[in-house]
Amino acid sequence: MNDPASSSIPSPAPTDFPLEWLEPRDATLTWEWDDMHMPMALTPLAADYVGTIASGFSYGYERLGFPAEIKVRVLNGYAYFTLDTEVPEPEQAAMWERRTEAARAQILLTDAYWRRAVPQLRDYYEWVACAAVETMPFEDLADRWDETWTRIGRCWSIHFYAIRGPYQVLEDLADLYESIVENASPGEALGLIGGGVHELHDVERELESLAALLAGTPALAARIREPGATVADLAGRPDAAPFLTALDAFLARHGHLGQSFDDLALPSWGEDPGLLLAELAKRVEHPPVVGADARREALTAHGEALAADVRARLADDAEKREQFDALLAAARQIGHLTETHNYWIDRMAQASLRRFVMRVARRLVDAGLIGDVTDILYLRRGEVPELLRAPDDRRGVVEGRRAEHATWSATRPPKKVGAPSTDDGESDRFDGKRFTSSEPDELRGTGASAGIVRGRARVTRTQADFAAVQEGDIIVCSSSNPSWVPLFAIAGGLITDTGGVLSHAAVVAREFALPAVVGTGDATSRIADGRLVELDGSNGIVRLL
């Protein structure tokens, strides 16, 4: 997101993407479509959830004493963000430096904060889950609805405070590494912290165990591989009992994963286990060559080799070596939070809220107020408690909003709207830089995970596209998150439109030793599904073959 320029003259709205600003000041700011986290058109309720996310972002800045506010506007279904500040432009460089120093101050505090935060997060999710939605009077349910959204909002406040130290320490470590190791590739420094044991490693190990149970029961594995297989199809089969017990345990721990983006319309594995079964079937047919534990050990050894090389280069500079060791120790302690926070908050908060929302929707359907549980996604956050307190048939409203959403879903929105932006400003390693290529059959991005690989491109925009990804395919997507772990175990490589070496896609790709190029800008629109491509994960080059 770019720094706003309050003196800029607003540019005219695209004729095919009309803009209605909430406030007059909005038109003087530069708004950027967040196609990393929300690349699809959002329903009204999903749009309100994005507002909850943005409130958490602003809380994180407030805790750091940063004089700026993150704002979001959902325009024609697409989420646009801006950073608004009243600090004069000549003073903004100093403002950003103060923010950086404030983030550095969080590095040594993060581990203790996160240890306190996880039990608090669990309490919030448990409170949401234990609501007696099915029997509660509508008036009480309306109150519960409001408080549920408030508590999920607190989870996002924790998110945007907890991540400051982890991202800053990795930025600092990478800066130092690249000042010592000449011509280091963009993602090379992050290999220093590879192989840590954390929740994503647990997910991968347990997926391996589930696949092994299936592989040991050929008839069951064959049933899973049939299109549209569901958990209900397996119930009552004597040979399925051990697998179903293990699956239930897995979903109890990790069932909040599965949503491809920050969109409340998307179900998790816990809500739709069939999403997970389809990926397990691929693993049975094409087991990973290297298991999770062996891959982690290799990543750890690689990190130690990189660190040893740096120390050797600094043999005559004790002060800089001490600085490196201190940064490395801190990065290995909290660096994993650049991704595990996504596991605990992005994915878990979304799944928790969605389960609650769908339970409320069932009550509204039973009362004849909406026609289908998914209709609730076309109501606004504030309309639901109003409906519970004063019941009224909303099916006509829903029908109109569904049609409008379908129209905008077929639209490619502009990347930026509002005040014209003259440059892209400074990019950090999360958002990454954007590159251009003069070659018609070449795309440029950031090399996020080393390796050169060829394969068939699988353009993967939604969860529905996961099924098409087969062993060795090159995933081409807007971005990814921990829910994509099952795909990464069988894919040959990864290309994204968005992100830098600290983006979710890049972090997970490195943990899987999956060659990756991120931040190409337009891979999903320029690369045809099924096209043979070659990607160079060190130099950030994608060639269309």
More confident position, 471 or 305: 305
pLDDT at 2: 36
The per-residue pLDDT for range 202-224, each reduced to its tens digit, is: 999 999 999 999 999 989 888 88
Q: How far apart are alpha carbons 517 and 446 in whole angstroms?
A: 5
Check if the beta carbon of residue 432 is closer than 8 Å to that of residue 497. Answer: no
Q: Is 469 among the domain residues?
A: yes
Same-domain pairing of 189 and 308 = yes
Going 165 to 500 to 86 to 172, the CA torsion angle's sign is positive
Q: Are residues 189 and 301 in the same domain?
A: yes
Q: Are residues 457 and 530 in the same domain?
A: yes
3-state secondary structure of 503: coil
In this structure, what token pair is assigned to residue 295?
């891959």
Does a structural domain hold residue 450? yes
Is the domain of 277 the same as that of 309?
A: no
Going through 45-140 in order, the beta strands assigned E by DSSP cover 69-75, 78-84
According to the model, what pLDDT value does residue 3 have?
36
CA separation for the pair 380, 49 (Å, rounded) = 10
Mean pLDDT of the chain: 91
**Inside any domain, residue 6:** no
Mean pLDDT of 158-164: 96
Domain with 381 in it: 110-165+339-409
Answer yes or no: are the C-beta atoms of 250 and 214 closer than 8 Å.
no
Q: Answer whether residue 306 shows pLDDT above 70.
A: yes
Please give the torsion angle defined by the CA atoms of residues 456, 510, 207 and 350, in that order, rounded to the nearest 10 degrees: -100
Measured at the CA of 294, the angle between CA 290 and CA 300, to 5 degrees, comes to 125
How do residues 485-499 score in pLDDT, each as one tens digit? 888 888 999 999 998
Q: If pLDDT is split at 50, 70 and 90, which confidence band does 54 have?
A: very high
User: Which residue type occupies 169?
Assistant: V
Q: What is the pTM of this model?
A: 0.91
> What pLDDT is attached to residue 424?
53
Residue 102 is assigned to a structural domain of this protein: no
Is residue 10 very low, low, confident or very high in pLDDT (cuts 50, 70, 90)? very low
What is the pLDDT at residue 112? 97
Considering the domain boundaries, does residue 414 fall inside one?
A: no
- Residue 5 — very low, low, confident or very high, per pLDDT cuts 50/70/90? very low
State the pLDDT at residue 307: 97
**Residues 170-209 as b or e (16 or more Cβ within 10 Å = b):** bbbbbebbeebeeebbbbbbbbbbbbbeebbbebbebbbe
30-33 and 416-418 as β-strands: parallel, antiparallel, unpaired?
A: antiparallel
* Alpha carbon distance 545, 543 (integer Å): 6
Q: 101: Cβ–Cβ under 8 A, 6 or more apart, which residues?
A: none
Say whether pLDDT at 96 is over 70: yes
| 260 and 374 co-located in one domain | no
Position 380 pLDDT exceeds 70: yes
Residue 14's pLDDT is 58
The per-residue pLDDT for 337 is 94
Shared-domain flag, residues 175 and 299: yes
In this structure, are 331 and 187 located in the same domain?
Answer: yes
Which residue type sits at 207? L
Q: Does any domain span residue 391?
A: yes
One domain for residues 241 and 281: yes
Output 446 or 483, whichever has higher pLDDT: 446
- For residue 6, pLDDT over 50 is answered with no
For 103, list phi and psi in degrees, rounded to 5. Answer: -65, -40
Cα separation, 1 vs 266, whole angstroms: 25
Q: In what order do the strands lie in the sheet with 30-33?
A: 69-75, 78-84, 30-33, 416-418
pLDDT at residue 197 tops 90: no
In this predicted model, what pLDDT tens digit does every residue of 222-234 receive, in sequence order? 888 888 888 888 8
pLDDT single digits (tens) 503-523: 888 888 888 889 999 999 889
Residues 536 and 477 in one domain: yes
Q: Does residue 474 sit in the same domain as residue 380?
A: no
Least confident residue range of 19-33, 161-175, 287-301? 287-301
Amino acid of residue 254: H
Is residue 401 pLDDT above 70, yes or no? yes
Taking only the tens place, the pLDDT of each residue in 418-432 is 998 765 555 678 888
Token representation of residue 86 = 């009243």
Residue 73 domain flag:
no
Domain harbouring 497, CATH code:
3.50.30.10
Residue type at 67 in one-letter notation: P
Clarify whether residues 465 and 502 are in a common domain.
yes
Contact (CB, 8 A) for 471 and 281: no
Q: How does residue 177 score in pLDDT terms, banded at 50, 70 and 90?
A: very high
Average pLDDT, integer, range 349-371? 98
Q: Count the Cβ atoms, other than its own, within 10 Å of residue 308.
A: 10
- pLDDT, mean of residues 250-276: 94
Last residue of a domain, one of 219, 253, 285: 285
In the predicted structure, residue 60 carries a pLDDT above the cut 70:
yes
Query: For residue 29, what pLDDT band results from cuts at 50, 70 and 90?
Result: very high
pLDDT for res 15: 64
Quick check: is 10 in a domain?
A: no
Name the domain count of the chain.
4
Do 453 and 523 lie in one domain? The reply is yes
Give the full edge-to-edge strand order of the sheet including 516-518. 442-444, 541-544, 532-536, 452-459, 474-477, 493-496, 516-518, 446-449
